[in-house]
Every structure is written in C-alpha cells, then in structure tokens.
Amino acid sequence: MRNIIGACPRNFLKVFSIAADQDAVTGVKGASGEGNERKWRKLFDMTDVYQEGGKIMRDLKAGSIMVRPVAIAKRNSPARDVALQLLSGLYSGMPVVNDEGQIIGVVTELDLLEAVDEGKELAKLTAEDVMTKETITVDLDTSASKMIKIMREKHIIRLPVTENGKVVGIVSRCDILRTVVDPYLVVL
C-alpha cells in the first residue's frame, strides 16, 4: 500500500473524496496508472474508518503510535550535549531520567534558550539544571484523542510514554498526524 500512496500522492487525496464504488475504483486506478484493484479497495475500506466520527482517534493507542527507541538524557548529562542532540533536527525536546531510568523531567529547546538568555553557560549545566520538572506522561493504552487533548490544553509538543515509571516511547504531534495521514504506518 505504501508504494501506491508514494507513487501518486495527488490521487491519494482523491481517494478520500470519492465514494468507494466500482466506478470510483476504476477512475482512481486509471488516474494513477496502477493496475491492482484489490489494493485500491483496501485503501477505500480504510477510509470508512475515518468517516465514522473520529473512531480511529479513540481506537489508536499510544503504544501503537509511539516512536522508540527514545533519545533520553540522564540527569547529569551536560546541557550542551543535550543541545547538540536537539540540533540534529530529529526532535525539539527529550525526557530526562534518573539513575533508575525513571522520568524526572523534560529538556526542550526553550529550556536551553532560557538558560542561555539568563547568561548561563550550557557547558557548565546539566540536563537536570535546565529541565522542566513538571512532566506529563501517558501510558501505553492512552488514546490518541486523550493525547491530543493533553497537548492542546498543556501547550506541549510531545508526550513521553511510560510503563512502570520508565520511558518506553514518545508520541509527538507529528507522530499522531503521520498515523492519521498514512494509516499503514501504524504498528499493531
């Protein structure tokens, strides 16, 4: 299915805007140049999930959306090293854990910028010195709908996913969006 979507992204949008009947399948198949009608029917079947009033958001759980392994900082990691990790562009914040691996905070780009703005040198600070201590986490069974609500209300970009107090994954806004845009990326 990824090949079809990757091969014709404009036609992918057409699939969601037309009815899943024989004429529609033939029309999209013809427009994309793809000849595998069964794959298109499967895609149409998936669109029904989206048309059931957000059902997919209630059914998707953090455990199937989360990214792992998670880049984490230990409490004594130099803040400069954390900044270098964030500069890689893969993420804009990371959980901070204690020696037992339990989450104790989150370091974001903004936390680092605030420290610099206060005249502090990142090379002389640890992740624990600059982290936000109030950490909001979710468990593996938290629904996408609930995560979106938390992100909106708390104005946060990512939620660490924990199991028995330890970080096992992370879900960002774009991870949820990616799952909705391309449902075949969901890990079940």
Measured CA to CA, the distance from residue 38 to residue 43 in angstroms comes to 9
| CA–CA dist 188, 185 (Å, integer) | 9
State pLDDT tens for residues 44-97.
444 444 444 455 666 789 999 999 999 999 999 999 999 999 998 777 899 999
d(CA 9, CA 101): 42
Q: Quote the CATH superfamily of domain 62-181.
A: CBS-domain (3.10.580.10)
pTM of the predicted model as reported, rounded to 2 decimal places: 0.65
Model confidence pLDDT, tens digit, residues 170-184 = 999 999 988 877 656
